[in-house]
Structure 1
Amino acid sequence: MTGHGLGRSFAFLWSSTALSNLADGVLKTGAPLLAVSMTRSPTLVSLVGAAATLPWLLLALPAGAIADRADRRRIMATAGAVRAVALAVAAVLAASGALDLWVLLAAVLAAGVAEVFADTSAQSVLPMTVPASQITRANGRVFSAQQIGNEFAGAPVAGLLVGLLPAAVFGAPALLYAAAAALLLGMRGTYHPARNTTQADGRSVSGPLLQEIREALRYLLAHRVLRSLAITAGLLNLANSAYFAVFVLWAVGDGSAIGLPPEGYGLMMTALAAGAVLGSLLAERIARAFGEFRALTACWLASSVLLLAPVVAPSPWALYPTAVLWGVLGGAANVLVISTRQRLIPPELLGRVNSAYRLIGMGGMPLGAALGGVVAEFAGLPAVLLGSIGVCLLGVGLVRHALRDRISRPLTSDAALPDITRSL
């Protein structure tokens, strides 16, 4: 049903994505829970999250360059197999009583390294799987599968496994990653990016890896639309990371502004995830009704303004519907911005430029979280919340100014694509 109208290859890609993201959800929740059972040191426990995210900072650009050199489906399948083997070894060690924090960190780090290559190639292979006019729809299906696996299903499954059989926190994801890799074999065709031997100016496109990475960075920085989107995404992610790093203190506890119990905060996150699934599925209709750029900037603007709601109306009755709207707008915006990148970036550069974009767009997240805590410590929670909203509005204002000539007409057919892609 999910692949209806999108083809057999997309159905296999979507099914593989669903299984691998369920595995991601189990590992993302289960690994910190296992770490807490081994140590009460906040520093040591935080190393689990660092091990999961560090590979993105170190390997995003090389992974993108490799995705532009090799068969992207094969990269994804190999990454899935690597994750399956690494976690299977950890499961065996856990079952034999040899699991400690350092084995846990090694397993999470290995899975994180493979994830960088898998996710980079996945975003690059999708445009090779469906027609250009179906990219937004396909991304909506993929994003909804990611949300369901990571947020809805993975967390409760991990909680159950930690209590019943800790070794299964690694064993279950290992089986899911292996199955996800096997499903990719059902995709027909070749997924090796086309490589021209020379560029328009006669220069060769083949060369050392660092040269190809520099080429991608130059392309991104010279591309007005992609550069504007990347800078805005970086500002939004930095600000939202700062906002939500301390929002739990604003929302949870007797002395908080909202007064939620811990389970109420979990319900808010569930509401946000439900909204994100809905928004991802509605993204295609929104884009066709209003145009991709107009819809994207409107979603970013509305979600930024909605961050003000819990500050001016600190009530659970206002928070839950606001969380749903955050999810709808964020889910739609993610689908739209990914689809836009996939249309604008030439196929032979897609892996590298996508990686450079994500490095800029996501690089501010750890900085934002740390900055939010420091500012809250010295200036109070309202300063962080209101300051984050201000940064978000600044980012949206910058992109609306940069793209004012493109926020115009709906994207209704492939015929509209050439007009959108004239951007250098």
Structure 2
Amino acid sequence: MSAVEAGEREGERGGGKPAAPAWRGGFGRLWTAAVVSRFGDALRGAALPLLAVSLTDSPVLVSLVTACGFLPWLLFGLIGGAIADRVDQRRAMWAVDAVRAALMAGFAVAVWLDHATIGLLLALGFALTTLQTLFDNAATALLPSVVGQEALGRANARLMTGQEVMGRFVGAPLLPVLLGLGAAVPFWADAATYLLAALLVASLGVAAPERAPRPAGRTLRQEIAEGIRLLWRDRVLRSLCGCTMLVNIGIGALIATLVLIVTGWLDAGNTGYAVVVTVYGIGSVAGGLVAAWITDRLGRIRSLVVCGAAQLAALVALGTIRGLPVAVAAMGLFGFAGMVWNVTEVTMMQQRSPAEMLGRVSAAFRTLTVAGTPLGALLGGVIAEAWGLNSPALAAAALFACGLVALVPGMRSGIN
């Protein structure tokens, strides 16, 4: 058993309190870069659909704006992970952000000059997400070098909580103000956040992890296959990946139809929907604040099971009890448990993967699990039309139940 794995098992038994990441130095700059970038992403994510509906009357073209946020992961996610394991991850991250800043600034100019088209918008979304496949895998692989294995859980929790607060409670609410200054202003702001994030990451004094020399003639295809094989051979990660893929199908169905559930089945109107979404965000932030505390006491696998069961119960309540207060409470619980799940999932993947292969394992995991979300969104609409507006929540609950069953092999692996 490796020292890392032994330390992980000790933490799972509650044998010691993991260290907290120090804010000074590398982690503080990495956290700031992530939060600033998330602010820009929130502005762009909210502004692009509004711009899309002003450029076209086609629902299909408008829906493609969202699809562009998933398709590159399915096409290039594995390649991005393999490249992340070949290069200096810090340099890859700041270079990607510099390119994204240039692309976004160019798009802002097009909007300012009234030359934006739906085709340009779709191309931008596709290009940004394609670059993100390299950035996200490199970021996942870099974090253990910045904070160390023992502080990963708390580092992930702080990163995700900061991003949630900045994106949901600062970026999105600020959009109407920026739009009042001009249609191009949110995109200029997004370009500036990419540039600032690039400067912060470039200033990190983190050495690239040591890697064994690659044999001559080694191809990306062979390296990608190594990452997939490692993911498959690790019983815990394999179980977690299968579980996450199933629950993401359910989450996709819920996201696509939540507005119909609240405004249609509950008849709560736009105000009710805004309240539900806001409480979901509050629950997510609260979950991030206590995620490390929960996993310290329950262990990671048990935390996943408890959180999955809580989300399942929330979905059943949402789909069976016709009342806005119940929906608000259910979505608050759903967001809380979901954030704890996300922090725990990423930390387990980082701790169980060899440093030289973390980019590829992360890419394989993300590619398989991300595929469930657009599939679920499509199924959610079909299910709602066939069996009623509340049925996607119940279908999602059934998928969560199947996902928890998929975790059983991981429970039997010896990590409690």
With the length of structure 1 as denominator, give the TM-score of the two structures.
0.89
Structure 2 distance, partners of 1:145, 1:274, is: 12
Structure 2 distance, partners of 1:52, 1:233, is: 19
Name the residue aligned to 1:16. 33
Cα distance change on mapping 1:257 and 1:92 into 2, 3 Å: closer
Whether contact under 8 Å (2:84, 2:359) holds in the other structure is yes
Q: Which segment drifts farther, 299-308 or 383-392? A: 383-392
Whether contact under 8 Å (2:287, 2:340) holds in the other structure is yes
Q: Which segment drifts farther, 150-159 or 343-352? A: 150-159
The correspondence for 1:193, drawn from 205, 209, 226, is: 209
Name the residue aligned to 2:235. 224
Where do 5+ consecutive residues of structure 2 fail to align?
1-19
| Residue 213 (1) aligns with residue 224 (2) | yes
Name the residue aligned to 1:170. 187
Cα distance change on mapping 1:161 and 1:171 into 2, 3 Å: same
Query: Counterpart of 1:140 in structure 2: which amino acid?
Result: A
The correspondence for 1:99, drawn from 116, 132, 147, is: 116
Q: Deviations over 1:344-403 (max 9, x none)?
A: 000001000101001111111111111121122223334433222112111102203542
Q: SS of the counterpart of 2:147?
A: coil
Whether contact under 8 Å (1:69, 1:193) holds in the other structure is no
Whether contact under 8 Å (1:304, 1:393) holds in the other structure is yes
Name the residue aligned to 2:43. 26
Q: Deviations over 1:110-149 (max 9, x none)?
A: 2222222211111111111112111000000110122123
Q: Deviations over 1:167-199 (max 9, x none)?
A: 112211001100010011221131x2321248x
With the length of structure 2 as denominator, give the TM-score of the two structures.
0.91
Q: Deviations over 1:215-249 (max 9, x none)?
A: 11111112111110000000000112123322322
Query: Counterpart of 1:181 in structure 2: which amino acid?
Result: A
The correspondence for 1:300, drawn from 308, 332, 341, is: 308
| Residue 152 (1) aligns with residue 160 (2) | no
Whether contact under 8 Å (1:65, 1:351) holds in the other structure is yes
Name the residue aligned to 1:54. 71
Q: SS of the counterpart of 1:406?
A: coil
Query: Counterpart of 1:229 in structure 2: which amino acid?
Result: L
Q: SS of the counterpart of 1:384?
A: helix
Q: SS of the counterpart of 1:286?
A: helix
Structure 1 distance, partners of 2:265, 2:92, is: 48
The correspondence for 1:161, drawn from 178, 188, 199, is: 178
Across the two proteins, how many residue pairs are aligned to each other? Answer: 397
Name the residue aligned to 1:248. 259
Name the residue aligned to 1:363. 371
Q: Which segment drifts farther, 273-282 or 150-159? A: 150-159
Structure 2 distance, partners of 1:375, 1:262, is: 22
Name the residue aligned to 2:383. 375
Whether contact under 8 Å (1:63, 1:120) holds in the other structure is yes
Structure 2 distance, partners of 1:407, 1:140, is: 21
Structure 2 distance, partners of 1:186, 1:230, is: 34
Query: Counterpart of 1:347 in structure 2: which amino acid?
Result: A
CA drift at 1:405: 4.5
The correspondence for 2:279, drawn from 271, 280, 289, is: 271
Name the residue aligned to 2:290. 282
Structure 1 distance, partners of 2:73, 2:175, is: 24
Structure 2 distance, partners of 1:387, 1:112, is: 29
Q: SS of the counterpart of 1:162?
A: helix
CA drift at 1:308: 0.8
Structure 2 distance, partners of 1:359, 1:103, is: 25
Equivalence map 1:271-350=2 (5 Å): 271-350=279-358
Structure 2 distance, partners of 1:136, 1:68, is: 22
CA drift at 1:156: 2.0
Name the residue aligned to 1:260. 268
Structure 2 distance, partners of 1:4, 1:126, is: 11
CA drift at 1:306: 1.5
CA drift at 1:303: 1.0
Whether contact under 8 Å (1:34, 1:162) holds in the other structure is no
Name the residue aligned to 2:411. 403
Structure 2 distance, partners of 1:122, 1:189, is: 12
Structure 1 distance, partners of 2:394, 2:292, is: 32
Task: State the percentage of identical aligned residues.
Answer: 35
| Residue 386 (1) aligns with residue 402 (2) | no
Whether contact under 8 Å (1:68, 1:193) holds in the other structure is no
Structure 2 distance, partners of 1:121, 1:197, is: 19
CA drift at 1:317: 1.4
Structure 2 distance, partners of 1:78, 1:348, is: 21
Q: SS of the counterpart of 2:265?
A: coil
CA drift at 1:278: 1.4
Q: Which segment drifts farther, 150-159 or 321-330? A: 150-159
RCO higher in structure (CA 8 A, sep ≥6): 2
Q: SS of the counterpart of 1:308?
A: helix
Structure 1 distance, partners of 2:105, 2:277, is: 30
Structure 1 distance, partners of 2:328, 2:117, is: 39
Structure 1 distance, partners of 2:273, 2:415, is: 37
Structure 2 distance, partners of 1:70, 1:125, is: 11
